Structure 1
Amino acid sequence: MTTGTLKRQPEVIVGVDAHKHIHHAVIITSTGQRLTDSEFPATSLGYADMLSWATEHGHVQAFGVESTGSYAAGLARFLIDHHVEVREVNTPHAHTKARVGKDDTIDAEAAARKVLAGVATAIPKRTDSVIESIRFLLLARDSAVKARTAAIVQLQDILVTAPADVRESTPRGGLAAARHCRKFRIDRARLHDPVQAVKLALRVLAVRAADLDSEIKELENALTTLVNATAPTLVSRVGIGTIHAAQLLVTAGENIARFRSEAAFARLCGVAPVPVSSGKSHRMRLHRGGDRKANRALHMIAVVRLRYDARTIDYMQRRLTEGLSKKDVLRCLKRFIAREVFNDLRTDLGTA
């Protein structure tokens, strides 16, 4: 193929509608003309075939991909490794689906056109670094915490209706009750007796909670090692422990330079102020969108600082005397903390 032929190749954009086992792709030109579409398996070989197929139809400007954080994570990683520009595309709004219909081809073409129109500008998070390792461990830890809580709550619920001698001999409080129930001796020949049956049920739940507690400690130790090595500046701040730092790292991603500014990061965390002014009323409110796990991490950091950090306590008192509500002051605090976190992450991840 000659240089002249290469120059005559059209500029193309590829849109991808991702699913668990297959990805549907549509190619359009830089002038909006739809060229073709095809399906590929969601495997390494399928990703390579998709890229080869796309380059056969022209010079690829970019891929617009849905679900880069889930079904298309492998595809996005493959394309980035091959130096292809990737843009994250939001799934179509329900109103759009109702108006134009929905199938894989329509969704893939819509993804490509969003890139062409400059609507889809978000850069996917990198998923090939230590922060991806932190994400895996954090997911396992969070599910273990949820399961432990469920086991202890169920244990306490059973105790409410347990026979009197079991209920009254068991200490109050979830953890104390679980420790006590682990020591129960069961007469398995008498499981027809409600006393023996309830003891078995309580001991199983107590042992489950203890096993989950060991899992949580193991995962938290691993997280502490990785987070301290990855974000030493961040974890040195008042109120920012391992778990909250891990969540903020996962939300930001390794390639934190993808954020245009700290305001964009605040928006992602759901702490960017939203104006709700009308007439003579001028005020802001909390942003109810964004990553709610990151928002919760910022909220808990603010709560801790309101108890232990003198600057934060003084700020709260000053703003309250100015007439702001406690909720409004907390919103301001979370916004300040988001700015601090963003700057610390830029320092720790080497992009400052």
Structure 2
Amino acid sequence: MKRSPRGGRKPKKRRIVGGVDTHADTHHAAVELMNGGRIADAQFPATADGYAQLLVWMRSYGRLHAVGVEGTGSYGASQARHLRGQGVHVVEVNRPDRRQRRNLGKSDPLDAYAAADAVLAGRARALPKGGDGIVESIRAVHLARSGAINARTACINELRSLLVTAPAELRERMAGTSAQALAAACARLRPAADLADPIQGTTLALRSLAHRCQALTAEIG
């Protein structure tokens, strides 16, 4: 854990605000007074232990009023869940202040302080999604299903595209069929051993795509 304090620690009675700049492997946290005075910043690993250490570190500087967290729908999701589970008011911060970035350049401490500034200034007010319970379960399953639907659509498009340039014998046999009927018909194709023949090579490709499409249909179901 890398720390960069900005002054000595004060009695815990004072109220403070935190900000967190999140990344895949590390999170950078900052602590400010309610008047915007900067106290300290530190870096923590993006792990369960790191989330706990970050909160202990913030609370060592005073009574935590709220914490602004970047990326609560991505890299900051687990950190936000941990903070909420410990009774901390978490605010979603979309991005650092662009004017500060232009003036001072990109840095993790700057972005962490910017997240805290956004909470103090009222620019960030949205509460992050819960990320737990049945809603999170549905989101995860829906994401997998949507990916399968997109893959099946791409597979059907590849089938139709291949048929456009396929030998007439194959193209005419499959003409005018629906997507489901096309996949079923192509799955029944039986290529001969001589794949040097364009008809046989195309037959094998059509059957392979059809089997893939059927497997994706079963997964979606």
Q: Residues of 2 paired with 1:171 and 1:160: CA distance? A: 10
What count of residue pairs does the alignment treat as equivalent?
211
Q: Residues of 1 paired with 2:77 and 2:111: CA distance? A: 18
Partner of 2:54: 50
Partner of 1:239: none
Q: Does 1:183 align with 2:188?
A: yes
Q: How do 1:225-244 residues align onto structure 2 when only pairs under 5 Å count?
A: none
Q: How much does 1:96 deviate? A: 5.1
Q: Residues of 2 paired with 1:54 and 1:86: CA distance? A: 13
Q: How much does 1:57 deviate? A: 1.1
Amino acid aligned to 1:37: D
Contact preservation (8 Å) 2:18, 2:31: yes
SS of aligned partner of 1:53: helix
Give aligned-pair identity as a percent.
Answer: 45
Most deviating of 90-99 and 197-206: 90-99
Q: Deviations over 1:289-343 (max 9, x none)?
A: xxxxxxxxxxxxxxxxxxxxxxxxxxxxxxxxxxxxxxxxxxxxxxxxxxxxxxx
Q: Which runs of 5+ in 2 are unaligned?
A: 1-9
Partner of 2:6: none
Amino acid aligned to 2:135: I
Q: How much does 1:8 deviate? A: 5.8
SS of aligned partner of 2:188: coil
Amino acid aligned to 1:162: A
Taking a change above 3 Å as real, the CA distance of residues 95 and 27 of structure 1, as seen in their structure-2 partners, is: closer
Task: Report runs of 4+ in structure 1 exceeding 6 Å deviation.
Answer: none
Judging by fraction of residues, say which structure has more strand.
2
Contact preservation (8 Å) 2:91, 2:128: yes
Contact preservation (8 Å) 1:171, 1:180: no
**2:88 pairs with 66, 84, 89, which one?**
84
Q: What is the alpha-carbon root mean square deviation over aligned residues?
A: 1.6
Taking a change above 3 Å as real, the CA distance of residues 8 and 24 of structure 1, as seen in their structure-2 partners, is: closer
Amino acid aligned to 1:180: A
**2:111 pairs with 104, 107, 111, which one?**
107
Q: Does 1:32 align with 2:43?
A: no
Q: Does 1:67 align with 2:75?
A: no
Contact preservation (8 Å) 1:153, 1:174: no
| Relative contact order, higher structure (CA 8 A, sep 6+) | 2
Q: How much does 1:93 deviate? A: 5.8
Judging by fraction of residues, say which structure has more helix.
1
Partner of 1:314: none
Partner of 1:251: none
Q: Does 1:199 align with 2:199?
A: no
Taking a change above 3 Å as real, the CA distance of residues 80 and 8 of structure 1, as seen in their structure-2 partners, is: closer
Contact preservation (8 Å) 2:31, 2:41: yes
SS of aligned partner of 2:66: strand
Contact preservation (8 Å) 2:12, 2:63: no
SS of aligned partner of 1:15: strand
TM-score by length of 2: 0.91
Q: Residues of 1 paired with 2:161 and 2:97: CA distance? A: 42
Q: How do 1:258-337 residues align onto structure 2 when only pairs under 5 Å count?
A: none
Taking a change above 3 Å as real, the CA distance of residues 96 and 36 of structure 1, as seen in their structure-2 partners, is: closer
Partner of 1:128: 132
Q: Residues of 1 paired with 2:158 and 2:99: CA distance? A: 42
Q: Deviations over 1:234-287 (max 9, x none)?
A: xxxxxxxxxxxxxxxxxxxxxxxxxxxxxxxxxxxxxxxxxxxxxxxxxxxxxx
**2:217 pairs with 213, 227, 233, which one?**
213
